[in-house]
């Protein structure tokens, strides 16, 4: 039975949700009483001065409402969250720092956008069902991110986020104009040419059509093709006559969204960032499915070909897929061959724009741009050598962008090779000599390095260079902030070290980005303010799918109801979101 039209669903479904939303003013700003209560709740809350809360989670937040009988939640507006103070051990929070403070730089971080060609033959949505809670053998957690009901909306979510960041324009604490934006990897989902281009075009402000294959119709798991309708996927246009409702509708209460597939395919004019932007390389930008090397026989041929698996190909088992995930190489080639020969695959329109790009080709695409800087941080040397690490300076801050993707053996875990580590040491030495603060940027956080000896070596390099004040990254799809204090020989901490700032994704709930401001407190300390930003889509979606904000709104609610994500709270803890991070000023 079809669910009610989206526009008729009520925003608040319980007295508790209504009370939560009532704390936000009609303009979206939080009342002064709520802000004061929030500030008083934690000892050492930030001395904020004249903070501009507009458009950020300082003003209002978005949370999950009360689940209905099937567990589906609508999103509700909530109160803003004031900055909370965190200190590296030994750093003091001077009570007068807000009055003395001088802003040095403000910038935006966007991470894990995962712009997705949701019709690509190289998608493996069919393995997702093996991680459902009622599957034989139980879920493994290794296959659950291979399908998301809203994945056709990733480009629209990105545009909505760009528009929101543009509308904010300045750092909320320092008032400094946003000097640049940093993308910290997984800007595409499957390292395909069309996905890479859609990402660049969204940030450039070009016309974008997130569509592939047949230009006249959708060809993927979401449509109502009578020969390939499958109940494991959400079908926004409802249930075909005489068919069984899909599991997202029947089991989890997903709504109808008629016309969504055509709306997602429709060209839209992106706004483009109104500031320079630079980019880091992520494992989904360099590896198929974020794991597999392009050189594996058959991968590119499959990507641009006309065979797409909708259901598990005959004879292919979960054990075989997990084995290929671990073994890679020849195991993946054999699996591709079996999929291509399976009689129950779907014929789709081939598309050369789905071809896989090497690291050098991804870098080169960033030189085909209408925004600044040309190359978006990547250099001519990167383009020639096929590398993706570089340094980029704005004012007193040197951004040192690492390439943490393992294109030697594949896999999702962080990695840097010896040549890059040598380059990093030299680059940090130059920054110290030039008296620049260093912000490291990469896709992977330190905790995502599987080689713990390599992680320890990298950590020692960063702590040995006091000008390193922050490391900004993504990959986990969750908000985290970790302290990395530098301990002296006698075991004491003197407020030195750096902060690691790990930011959630655009593709999974809560679909947030982060504003980061560096300020000199003029008392021997620095403050790094981080402020979470929700994209510009309305809290409650409607049936009007006319623009990217409307599509992004629906995408966010669907992400909040991903059945494989229900146990996750990727918003992180309160002290991982809007925070003031104190440390000793290494240049004083």
Determine the Cα–Cα distance for residues 355 and 301; give it in Å rounded to an integer: 8
The string of pLDDT tens digits covering residues 77-91 is: 999 999 999 999 999
CA–CA dist 179, 106 (Å, integer): 6
Alpha-carbon distance of 349 to 120, in angstroms, equals 10
- Cα gap 533→56, rounded to integer Å: 5
* Lookup: tokens for 129: 């069902």
The predicted pLDDT at position 139 comes to 79
Q: Residue 49 has what pLDDT?
A: 55
- Over residues 243-263, the pLDDT tens digits come to 999 999 999 999 999 999 999
Instruction: State the DSSP code for 446.
Output: G
List, in sequence order, every residue forming a beta bridge with 87; answer none if it has no partner. Answer: 582
Domain ranges of the chain: 84-230+262-287+356-584
Q: What distance in Å separates the CA atoms of residue 554 and residue 260, rounded to the nearest whole number?
A: 10
Closest CA to 393 of 444, 286, 467, 480: 467
Q: CB atoms < 10 A from the CB of 175, how many?
A: 14
- Structure tokens of 250? 């029947």
Residue 216: how many other CB atoms lie within 10 Å: 9
- The Cα 510–Cα 393 span in angstroms is 31
Low-confidence ranges of the chain (pLDDT < 70): 1-49, 489
CATH code for the domain defined by 84-230+262-287+356-584 = 3.60.21.10
Q: What contacts 228, CB < 8 A, 6 or more positions away?
A: 310, 311, 346
Looking at residue 233, its pLDDT comes to: 98
Look at residue 472 and give its three-state secondary structure. strand
Provide the pLDDT for residue 314. Answer: 87
Token code pair at residue 404: 């943490």
Show Cβ contacts of residue 18 under 8 Å, excluding neighbours closer than 6 positions.
Answer: 12
> What token pair was written down for 516?
């980061």
| Bridge partners, 292 (sequence order) | 288
For Cα atoms 372, 375, 377, give the angle at the middle one, nearest 5 degrees: 85
Tokens of 305: 């070909």
565 phi/psi in degrees, rounded to 5? -115, 5
Please write the tens of the pLDDT for every residue from 164-204. Answer: 999 999 999 999 999 999 999 999 999 999 999 999 999 99
């Amino acid at each position: 039975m079809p669910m009610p039209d989206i526009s008729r669903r009520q925003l608040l479904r319980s007295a508790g949700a209504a009370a939560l939303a009532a704390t936000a003013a009609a303009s979206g700003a939080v009342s002064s009483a709520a802000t004061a209560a929030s500030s008083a709740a934690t000892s050492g809350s930030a001395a904020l001065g004249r903070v501009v809360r507009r458009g950020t989670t300082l003003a209002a937040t978005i949370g999950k409402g009360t689940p209905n009988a099937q567990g589906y939640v609508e999103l509700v507006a909530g109160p803003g969250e004031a900055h909370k103070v965190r200190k590296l051990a030994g750093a003091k929070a001077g009570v007068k720092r807000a009055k003395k403070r001088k802003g040095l730089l403000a910038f935006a971080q966007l991470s894990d956008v995962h712009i997705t060609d949701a019709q690509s033959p190289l998608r493996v949505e069919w393995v997702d069902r093996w991680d459902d809670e009622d599957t034989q053998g139980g879920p493994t957690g290794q296959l659950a991110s291979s399908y998301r009901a809203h994945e056709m909306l990733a480009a629209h979510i990105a545009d909505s986020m760009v528009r929101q960041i543009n509308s904010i324009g300045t750092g909320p604490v320092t008032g400094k104009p946003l000097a640049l934006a940093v993308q910290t990897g997984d800007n595409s989902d499957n390292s395909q040419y069309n996905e890479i281009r859609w990402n660049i075009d969204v940030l450039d402000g070009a016309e974008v059509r997130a569509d592939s294959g047949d230009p006249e119709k959708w060809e993927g798991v979401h449509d109502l093709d009578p020969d390939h309708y499958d109940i494991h996927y959400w079908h926004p246009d409802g249930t075909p006559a005489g068919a069984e409702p899909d599991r997202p509708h029947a089991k989890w209460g997903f709504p109808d969204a008629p016309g969504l597939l055509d709306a997602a395919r429709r060209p839209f004019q992106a706004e483009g960032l109104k500031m320079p932007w630079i980019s880091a390389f992520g494992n989904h930008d360099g590896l198929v499915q974020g794991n597999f090397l392009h050189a594996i026989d058959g991968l590119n041929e499959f990507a641009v070909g006309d065979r797409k698996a909708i259901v598990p190909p005959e004879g292919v088992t979960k054990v075989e897929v997990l084995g290929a995930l671990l073994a890679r190489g020849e195991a993946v080639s054999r699996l591709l061959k079996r999929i291509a020969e399976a009689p129950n695959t779907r014929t789709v329109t081939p598309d050369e724009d789905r071809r896989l790009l090497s690291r050098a080709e991804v870098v080169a695409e960033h030189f085909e741009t209408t925004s600044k800087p040309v190359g978006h941080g990547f250099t001519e040397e990167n383009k020639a050598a096929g590398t993706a690490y570089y340094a980029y300076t704005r004012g007193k801050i040197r951004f040192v962008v690492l390439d943490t993707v393992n294109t030697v053996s594949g896999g999702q875990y962080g990695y840097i090779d010896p040549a890059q580590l040598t380059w990093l040491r030299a680059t940090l030495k130059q920054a110290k000599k030039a008296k620049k603060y260093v912000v490291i940027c990469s896709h992977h956080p330190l905790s995502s390095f599987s080689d713990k000896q390599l992680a320890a070596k990298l950590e020692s390099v960063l702590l040995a260079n006091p000008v390193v004040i922050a490391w900004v990254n993504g990959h986990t799809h969750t908000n985290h902030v970790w302290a990395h204090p530098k301990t002296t020989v006698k075991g004491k901490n003197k407020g030195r070290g750096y902060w690691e700032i790990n930011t959630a994704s655009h593709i999974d709930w809560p679909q947030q980005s982060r504003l980061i401001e560096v300020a000199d407190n003029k008392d021997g300390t620095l403050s790094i303010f981080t402020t979470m930003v929700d994209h510009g889509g309305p809290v409650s979606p409607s049936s009007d799918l006319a623009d990217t904000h409307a599509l992004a709104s629906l995408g966010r609610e669907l992400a909040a109801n991903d059945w494989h994500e229900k146990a996750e709270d990727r918003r992180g803890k309160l002290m991982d979101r809007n925070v003031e991070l104190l440390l000793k000023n290494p240049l004083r």
